[in-house]
Amino acid sequence: MNSTAIFIIALALAVDAFAVALATGVSLPRVSPRHTFRLSWHFGLFQGGMAVIGWASGLTFRARIEAFDHWLAFILLFLVGARMIHEAWNNGDEKKALTDPTRGWSLVMLSVATSIDALAVGLSFAIIQADILLPALVIGIVASLLTALGLHLGKMVRHAERLGTTVEICGGLVLIGIGIKILFDHGVF
């Protein structure tokens, strides 16, 4: 997989983190460097780590699914993208209900929730026999950077939730597009 595709996947995966960070930036009375570090570090670590976990899980099953691996990769990316789009439309109220999501269990739960997509993408990487170290690193760094950006933009943008929803929908569409590209690369169309 080329570096452009890896970067696009990382951007698409990071939109959940970006959207949550936007909402967090709006909800916090003040965004400190400590808030920024905690949220961006955890979101980046979990995004990259979940991609590795998904990839390792996929290695176990690769030999059994080689004949239809491109379809499985497409289905996983499609489902992740569709879920992102669905959640963007339906979960706006959930994202703003937290008081300080940069601490404690709220931080851990948000880190896991925003990185589940990376688990499925990591599995897709194993299925198409792609290496994971560079993609996981890029996924983690991009998630960290977009989280920090989203947190600070959230303080500046009054309607951050609507912007976050739009970005999340675009990210879902990008993942679906990458799944379709995998099918094209395997000669399905």
User: For 102-159, how does the pLDDT look when each residue is reduced to its tens digit (9 = 90+)?
Assistant: 888 878 888 888 888 898 899 889 988 899 999 999 999 999 999 999 999 887 875 5
Answer yes or no: is pLDDT of 8 > 90.
yes
Q: Which two tokens stand for residue 13?
A: 């995966």
Higher pLDDT, 99 or 176: 176
Q: Which residues contact 42 (CB under 8 A, 6 or more apart)?
A: 107, 108, 110, 111
Q: How far is CA 33 from the centre of its chain?
A: 23
Asked if 60 and 176 count as a contact pair (C-beta separation under 8 A), the reply is no
pLDDT of residue 95: 47
Average pLDDT over residues 1-9: 90
As a whole-number percent, the residues of the chain with pLDDT over 70 amount to 89
As a whole-number percent, the residues of the chain with pLDDT over 90 amount to 32
Q: Which two tokens stand for residue 64?
A: 């059994």
pLDDT of residue 144: 98
Q: Which residues contact 184 (CB under 8 A, 6 or more apart)?
A: none
Distance from C-alpha of 7 to C-alpha of 72, rounded to nearest angstrom:
21
Structural domain that includes position 172: 3-185
Q: What is the pTM of this model?
A: 0.73
Kindly write down the DSSP assignment for every residue of 60-127, as one continuous string: HHHHHHGGGHHHHHHHHHHHHHHHHHHHHHH-HHHHTS-S-TTSHHHHHHHHHHHHHHHHHHHHHHHH
How many separate domains does the chain show?
1
Residue with tokens 């390792």: 56
pLDDT of residue 179: 81
Averaged pLDDT of the chain: 83
Distance from C-alpha of 103 to C-alpha of 121, rounded to nearest angstrom:
27
Asked if 124 and 70 count as a contact pair (C-beta separation under 8 A), the reply is no
- Which of 185, 188, 183, 184 lies closest to 73 in space, CA to CA? 183
pLDDT of residue 188: 85
With cut-offs at 50, 70 and 90, classify the pLDDT of residue 96. Answer: very low
Q: Which two tokens stand for residue 6?
A: 């890896």
Answer yes or no: is pLDDT of 80 > 70.
yes
Q: Which residues contact 119 (CB under 8 A, 6 or more apart)?
A: 50, 51, 53, 54
Helix orientation angle between 104-127 and 69-90, rounded to the nearest 10 degrees: 150
Distance from C-alpha of 134 to C-alpha of 155, rounded to nearest angstrom:
32
Q: Kindly report, residue by residue over 19-73, the tens digit of the pLDDT.
A: 888 877 876 778 899 999 999 999 999 999 999 999 998 888 777 776 787 787 7
